[in-house]
A = this chain, B = another copy of it.
């Protein structure tokens, strides 16, 4: 997920690794907790500054994520790492807050149909859920996580079809008003094109200023990095990506995996944009996935 929180001054672009959450939830088999921890540690050691390590969703729905607390606890010990977890609702958020995550990310969908399929709430209800979570800040002792939202299906929905850009912008403004620190745009359906990406992220910035958050692209028809180039031109400085391209939404038929973290880092560094990530060490981290999930 995203960040408009000032990044370390030694990097130009924040690469946010979502593989341990978005990637693993799309694989039926669960990766053992110890293997997840080793993988996350290897990713962090390569210079990745932010990792979405799990999802506080009900374990009946996603048994692969049942160990989210344990994984968060291990990740919090890694120096310099921002630990993010996804929460689909207030219950999940409460678990994440208790676990001590640095950031909680909410998938709020612009498409009514996708929203119902994914989290059984309308977009409007999801916004109210974010508001309720942000309101927990006053009654929560200690550190409260940064609340981030990625607007799913922001560029179109494979269930519903077109999504109104005005509605996406209206949602973004409402989410900021509800207390979200940043709101990014996610191409859940894998249908975004560079023209649309540049237009939408420019508009997002003009609507919500520095609350404008991360870009989350999929790689359908190989368009992922083309969209990254367009988003960079619109001023986006945080990108979600997944090691090896693992991932994709089960409720977005036809979409392929996330953009590949290794490819994204190669692109950014070759463009002269510092990521702080050692590409060789990043590629070596693949071994931890291959070992735990052969094939």
Contacts and interface: CB of A to CB of B under 8 A. Distances in A.
Interface of A: 191, 193-196, 219, 221-226, 228-230, 259-260, 262-263, 266-267, 270-272
A271 B228 contact: no
Nearest to A226: B225
Q: From A224, A259, A263, A270, name the one whose CB has the most chain B CB atoms within 10 angstroms.
A: A270
A267 B195 CA distance: 10
Contacts of A191: 270
Contact of A222 (B193, B225, B271, B272): B225
A193 B223 contact: no
CB-CB nearest 7 A-B residue pairs: A193-B270, A225-B226, A222-B263, A221-B266, A195-B271, A229-B229, A226-B229
A226 B267 CA distance: 9
A226 B262 CA distance: 15
A195 B272 contact: yes
Contacts of A229: 194, 226, 229-230
A223 B272 contact: no
B272 A194 contact: no
Contacts of A221: 262-263, 266-267
A247 to B, nearest CB: 15
Q: From A193, A194, A226, name the one whose CB has the most chain B CB atoms within 10 angstroms.
A: A226
A263 B223 contact: yes
Nearest to A198: B229
A152 to B, nearest CB: 19
B219 A222 contact: yes
A191 to B, nearest CB: 8
